[in-house]
Structure 1
């Protein structure tokens, strides 16, 4: 499993590089990668994160910092690019905190739901408690947003945070914001210019990552799951080199803690097919791979100074 982790990472990322460069498929000889859907090695390269970065964060519309913080939290709550685009259409602009003071956001969400009942992603499970007494999931989230940005001024706490852990803690104290969701939103906020912390400063492995860690290691001793993630981050160059694997990172950017914790989850999925006899709480991969007709975007936070090269440069 430990060996598979690194080989899967290198091959899955080669698929991404070839697709970004415009090379026609199939992009790998790996039968499992060709048949089933796996997230990109780098979280920021996945389509939903790309939608967030391009259509919410780095849009030339002079959004106030406070409103941008709200927009990022709102987008990740639904994690559905079509929901975001429909909201913008119904409001005539990006949502702002003032939309929470009346019923504008709620009315817009109701309209979007009437047009398309699927407001949320199916990629991960959100806390489903009726924390604010509204009875309907998206209305509870509207009340959450009001609590966050109108009543408790979360935007100020985000802007004044001194670490990624501070951002996580500020989010985590709210109802409906579990460990996993708070960490995901903290990473999203850190894509923007609102904060600028290393993605290796803090990590919070989710349920899938915990399953992967248990498969990759017979024992982690006194290491916590977070310690394991950071240990893998620190060893990446040695492990790729030990297997003679070419891995240039995200056009030069090495794996970060958020990427490694995601990779534990993806490796867990991969091994349901690669090692079916390995004891596991889950035995199959649900999503089959079907290439999207839309070209892959490769736009990352400008502060990372990443430029995607051409196919010729990747091949060389």
Structure 2
């Protein structure tokens, strides 16, 4: 059957409703019953040339230079028209549909092989890129269908019942791929922490581009703030009361995150206190006149003028705004309302959702939000929302926060199905806060894989290239650190760095033996105290068992 305008016509084998008419007549045409049904209608009438003929349907005569009906799939034999006589030439094979082209149609992440772009034919093999872009290839011992079957058996039905056009298997594969990314990124941190040589992974995308850690508290920017917080904690007795100390920590987090460049604060000697703000402001003015970089280049910042206005506004009128803000945050924290704390911080002039959530995370990780927990609530940024859409597709059956909680709740099940053991930090799983953190990096990873498949030269991400361009790690900041206890240079003694705050401790002050120096993870006594206090408060509030 075919449609012409508003009319629908049906052609049977007797050609009663519509028949071709030409100068040769229909008597020379082959019998329709002798031709397979899946061959083009043109091939049922082999003696009728396609060019210059007419179709008569009723009283209408149609020009058939261009077919007016959709032709069915022809047999392969009909497509082979002396292809062997054609001269060989170099053509690019048709690459598989890219990741984004699938996702924009409401589907989910495509992880099947091949995971690399198809090379040019007749191209020398030594010039082809040997890039492994599929994390599945690193875990070949577990078949994909077995993994997805195990995951789909435990997932709630409403997760996949509304994610058309695909169903359970597709969502299960995407969830598995997300946690494969989490496993590989955390394994990179562990390999590097052991002192293994670069590269720490066989995945070329993860090996040549910057990605944040799965645990936000392991990122260098967060470890620097933790070290500064411990320094404030040792001077807590200088504050008149607990409220004044909380105001100091809130000020420090705001000042640090709005700049978010460690080198700027190292030049000053640390994050400035409220009393040190005039001196810090003078240093920033001098840096601006000298065209020295003040702010980070990892994300958008508010700029010099707005930053100065924001910080000055917190100190005017005897710091009344900072005091009222800290009281509102403490009230919400007592009620275990992380969202309320986030919304209170967002009321500060020029502070949007991104910076407000970063400050909220700093207060959570430093145990300054009392009974609040990292699994209570999370603010999903644009990157995390894009990552959720990559995994679950477009659905209105549940909100994005619920889907993030599903990823947190089923992480153990997915790792068991994959047959891998997640190298967790200090025995902690991936909290809801860190799920949001990982989703943002996951969507960046998928975007880079997609560009690599299309052989794009503009990957649009910071590259790890210490040998040629000089772009590498900031681990040079850890060289020559002094022991925080005795202030002795750590290069001249056996020393160890805390994984949580990167503070240096020498062997004389800790009296650690071979067991500690060879351990994969180690946190210093102040960080252990903070972690223990957080666990105690969460157990008291019923947040954890």
Bin for the TM-score computed over the shorter chain = 0.7 to 0.9
Q: Is the 8 A contact 1:87 1:109 kept in 2?
A: no
Alpha carbons of structure 1 residues 198 and 309: separation in structure 2 relative to 1, 3 Å: farther
Partner of 2:208: 35
The CA deviation string for residues 99-132 of structure 1, in whole angstroms up to 9 with x for no partner, is 56xx44432332344456322112222456xxxx
Q: Which has the higher strand share?
A: 2
C-alpha separation in 2, matches of 1:216 and 1:310: 40
Partner of 2:224: 51
Q: Report which stretch shifted further, 76-85 or 284-293.
A: 284-293
The CA deviation string for residues 41-93 of structure 1, in whole angstroms up to 9 with x for no partner, is 11110110111111x2111641441222211221111111112222337xxxx
Match of 1:141 among 301, 306, 310: 310
C-alpha separation in 1, matches of 2:347 and 2:360: 13
The number of residue pairs the alignment matches comes to 292
User: What is the alpha-carbon root mean square deviation over aligned residues?
Assistant: 3.0
Q: Is the 8 A contact 2:375 2:432 kept in 1?
A: yes
Q: Which has the higher helix share?
A: 1
Partner of 2:274: 97
The CA deviation string for residues 11-40 of structure 1, in whole angstroms up to 9 with x for no partner, is 110000111122222211111111111111
1:265-304 alignment runs, 5 A limit: 265-276=440-451, 284-289=459-464, 290-294=472-476, 298-299=499-500
Alpha carbons of structure 1 residues 174 and 241: separation in structure 2 relative to 1, 3 Å: same
Please give the secondary structure, in 1, of the residue aligned with 2:388. helix
The CA deviation string for residues 222-268 of structure 1, in whole angstroms up to 9 with x for no partner, is 32222221111111111111111220321311101221112111111
C-alpha separation in 1, matches of 2:207 and 2:279: 44
Q: Is the 8 A contact 1:251 1:309 kept in 2?
A: no
Structure with higher Rg: it is: 2
Match of 1:87 among 268, 277, 282: 268
Please give the secondary structure, in 1, of the residue aligned with 2:269. helix
Q: Is the 8 A contact 1:19 1:27 kept in 2?
A: yes
The answer to whether 1:107 aligns with 2:276 is: no
Q: Is the 8 A contact 2:388 2:400 kept in 1?
A: yes
TM-score (norm 1): 0.81
Partner of 1:25: 198
Structure 1 gaps of 5+ residues are 129-134, 302-307
Partner of 1:69: 250
The answer to whether 1:190 aligns with 2:364 is: yes
Alpha carbons of structure 1 residues 149 and 174: separation in structure 2 relative to 1, 3 Å: farther
C-alpha separation in 2, matches of 1:105 and 1:31: 41
Please give the secondary structure, in 1, of the residue aligned with 2:360. helix
Alpha carbons of structure 1 residues 249 and 232: separation in structure 2 relative to 1, 3 Å: same
Partner of 1:233: 408
C-alpha separation in 2, matches of 1:105 and 1:88: 10
Alpha carbons of structure 1 residues 109 and 24: separation in structure 2 relative to 1, 3 Å: same
Alpha carbons of structure 1 residues 13 and 157: separation in structure 2 relative to 1, 3 Å: same
